[in-house]
Structure 1
Amino acid sequence: MSLTLPQSIVLTEYDKDYPVEVPWLDLWHVYVVANDKGGAGKTSTVANLALMILKKLRRGDPSKGIPGDPDARVLVIDLNAQGNLTVHEFGASEEQNDHGKGLYDSLHAGTALKPVTVRPGLDLVPGGGEWLKDDVATLYRRLRDKYDANADLRLLQCLLPIAGDYDFILIDTPPENPPLQRLAMGAGRWIITPAKTDNGSLDGVKEMSEQFKKVRKVNPLLTLLGVVLFATGRKSTQIHQKAEKRLREILKGRYFKFRTNIGHSEAVAQESRDVDGEPLVALFDRAEGGDTSLPETVRSVHEDYRKLTDEVIARSAEIKKAIEES
């Protein structure tokens, strides 16, 4: 895939009080996964969506006459100082994993991100390291002093030179780190919000929505694509209804919930934690290959992610089409 995108945007002090020209309509393929609460399922959602999307693109849909694209590419950006996506989900090697130093350097200088390839068709900008937790906050304050609200476009400035090389881009955001959340939203077109049904996770959605409102000032097409309930009981109807009522109150007119919930399975969670570099969709590959050591519930959670992937792609395409036709 090759998108026609400008190679860069330039932030200058003259932009402090004026909008920056950004090709937002061409950035429909950038998804931010955000919730201000830790443990809400952001990293797992990013990892499994990324691999599921890549599988879907490469396989195509023979039943509909849609050929697969062997050259399809997906980029994942790990903005979390914990680096769990880099280490535990995609198993980046020591040579590949710079613990977020390259990401920080790009943000500092405004230069292009430098991904590494962790699987065929899947590139990663590694996260991790104290500079993403502490140093970025200092950097962000300096950017705000210089560019005001346009500071939120710094990650986009670093992403644009390579954005056209990918079919889909997913950004994993950290909890309780407004600067990094806002930088992610400034580079994104869509926000997917995983949430558990507990009050802490729902409060995280509320905090995330406050950052969303602020970033919309410089990224006017940023859209809350939908909420997905994560690690929840499949038959917990009343609990789901209670959580959905709270989410409607928080998000108001922006509320949309994906039909698919990601079910909870302690066996699957344990297996995924124990095997570095294997998100659930990769574990399912082993099950398809006859690995009987894996729990049966791998299949049900895999099916959840398959359905969620279809919903994410369909909903963003529907909204994009409506905008283009309006």
Structure 2
Amino acid sequence: MTLTALDSQFTRTAAMDRIVAMANDKGGVGKTTIVTNTAGQIAAAGYKVLVVDLNRQANVSDDLGYRGRPGVDDQGEQLYEAIRRPDKNTLVAHEVRPNLWVVPGGRELAALTPLITMNMQQQGRAAYLGLAAALAPLAADYDLILIDSPPENIVLVDLALAAARWIIMPTRSDTGGLIGMKLTAERFRSAREINPSLGLLGVVLFATLSGARAIHAEVQADVSAAFGGQSPMLSSTIRYSERVARDARRAGKLAHELEIEAAAQPAFWEALRDGRKPGRHSAATASVSADFRALAAEVLDIIAVQEGARA
């Protein structure tokens, strides 16, 4: 089956209503961190979650600690093949946490952009249905699928948006993050031509100060202006902690996993008394974990409300 045939034969299943793409044209706004930590929180709550890494940098593998792991980290090879020929190649997901599976990305995905660009010359925008067709057979196996899209690659962002039911746009309060969000909003409108079911789940402010209410209000006004006067800002924000971010990626662990470790480490004075090395986890670990927990709950609530409204 070619992608031309997919344009007429591909059917979006009800299970694909739980596919969420994380996208912003700007790098460094927290896409991967939000994907992995939100997925981890939801999986820890007992839901089956799949993360699809569409980025050739494969930072998902760092967050989840499987970079270079034999039998798992194929650098995106089988993801590329499944998108290239979804009728011949079946996506294989790997369980890296209880209830949390991944389809790895990596350097092999560098060939995706020229592949889709070439297919577009013959098949038009139907070329963007490759990822959707690859995900359709296994979507029913999961309660939620999160796609981590790369920055500054409109071809792969469109590939993700053609597969998704929802889009979340992370942003920072700086000008670059907001410009990237506005560019992604343009891609959102274009993607609806081939995927009319695509909806905006919301915009989430990343790496902010929890008490910076004036800045939050300014960002909300900017977001509202970008979306024609209606602000899709989520109420949850992710606070800034460079120490937690560095500890998490270095250890290949998520914020809530570091929180559990931090709770088990002895108090500073107890470590000194017993001649042990004091714990190294930041005091902000629990707060950052709580932010991701709140975001995960908000995402699930919005999806549940939308599904209830359609029932």
TM-score by structure 1 length? 0.85
CA–CA distance in structure 1, aligned partners of residues 27 and 282 of structure 2 = 26
Q: How does 1:79-94 map to 2 (within 5 A)?
A: 79-92=54-67, 93-94=69-70
Q: 1:132 aligns with which of 109, 114, 120?
A: 109
Question: Which residue number corresponds to residue 47 of structure 1?
Answer: 36
Verify: 1:121 aligned to 2:99, yes or no: yes
Q: Does 1:280 align with 2:255?
A: yes
Residue 160 (str. 1) matches residue 147 (str. 2): no
Aligned mates of 2:134, 2:115 — CA distance in 1 = 15
Higher mean displacement: 264-273 or 152-161:
264-273
Letter in 2 for 1:153: L
Matched, 1:13 2:9: no
Name the counterpart of 1:212: 188
Aligned length: 296
State the one-letter code of the partner of 2:174.
D
For residues 37 and 99 of structure 2, the distance between their equivalents in structure 1, rounded to whole angstroms, comes to 14
Alignment counterpart, residue 300 of structure 1, candidates 287, 295, 298: 287
Matched, 1:75 2:50: yes
1:239 Cα deviation after fit: 1.6
Report the alpha carbon displacement of residue 94 of structure 1 after superposing the two structures with TM: 3.4
In structure 2, distance between residues paired with 1:295 and 1:79: 31
Partner Cα distance (1:234, 1:287) in 2: 21
Q: Displacement, 1:288? A: 3.6
User: 1:307, 1:124 → 2: CA distance?
Assistant: 23
Of the three residues 270, 274, 297, the one matched with 1:310 is 297
The whole-number CA distance in structure 2 between the counterparts of 1:15 and 1:286 is: 48
Runs of 5+ consecutive residues of structure 1 not aligned to the other structure? 1-9, 59-71
- 1:122 deviation in Å? 1.4
Q: Deviations over 1:69-91 (max 9, x none)?
A: xxx42110001111111234343
Of the three residues 126, 132, 139, the one matched with 1:150 is: 126
- Counterparts of 1:202 and 1:284 in 2: how far apart (Å)? 30
Contact 1:91 1:278 in 2 (8 A): no
Query: 1:34-80 CA distances to partner (integer Å, 9 max, x unpaired)?
Result: 11100000000000000100112x2xxxxxxxxxxxxx421100011
Compared CA separation, residues 74 and 265, structure 1 to 2 (3 A) = same
Give the Cα separation in 2 of the matches to 1:137 and 1:189: 22
Offset at 1:157? 0.6
Q: Whole-Å Cα distance in 1 between the matches of residues 226 and 147 of structure 2?
A: 23
On the 8 A contact 1:193/1:227 being kept in 2, the answer is: yes
Uncovered stretches (5+) of structure 2, i.e. residues with no partner: 267-278
Q: Match for 2:60: what amino acid? A: L
Contact 2:16 2:136 (8 Å CA) reproduced: no
Asked if 1:180 is matched to 2:147, the reply is no
Do the aligned residues in 2 keep the contact of 1:11 with 1:147 (CA within 8 Å)? no
Is the contact made by 2:44 and 2:98 (CA closer than 8 Å) also made in structure 1?
no
- Secondary structure at the aligned position of 1:112 is classed as coil
The structure-2 alpha-carbon separation of the partners of 1:205 and 1:269, relative to structure 1 and needing over 3 Å to count, comes to: same
Partner of 1:64: none
Contact 1:152 1:186 in 2 (8 A): yes
TM, length-normalised to structure 2 = 0.89
- 1:80–1:12 distance in 2 versus 1, CA, 3 Å: closer
2:256 touches 2:286 (CA, 8 Å); kept in 1?
no
Q: Which amino acid aligns with 1:116?
A: H
- Distance across 2 between alignment mates of 1:160 and 1:254: 32
What is the distance in 2 between the residues matched to 1:23 and 1:278?
34
Q: Distance in 2 between matches of 1:313 and 1:171?
A: 16
- 1:63 aligned residue: none
Q: Distance in 2 between matches of 1:187 and 1:86?
A: 22
CA contact (8 A) 1:78 1:171 kept: yes
8 Å contact kept, 1:24–1:221: no
Separation (CA, whole Å) in 1 of partners of 2:120 and 2:93: 26
Q: Given that residues 24 and 189 in structure 1 are in contact (C-alpha distance below 8 angstroms), is that contact kept between their aligned partners in structure 2? A: no
Secondary structure of the corresponding residue to residue 145 of structure 2: strand
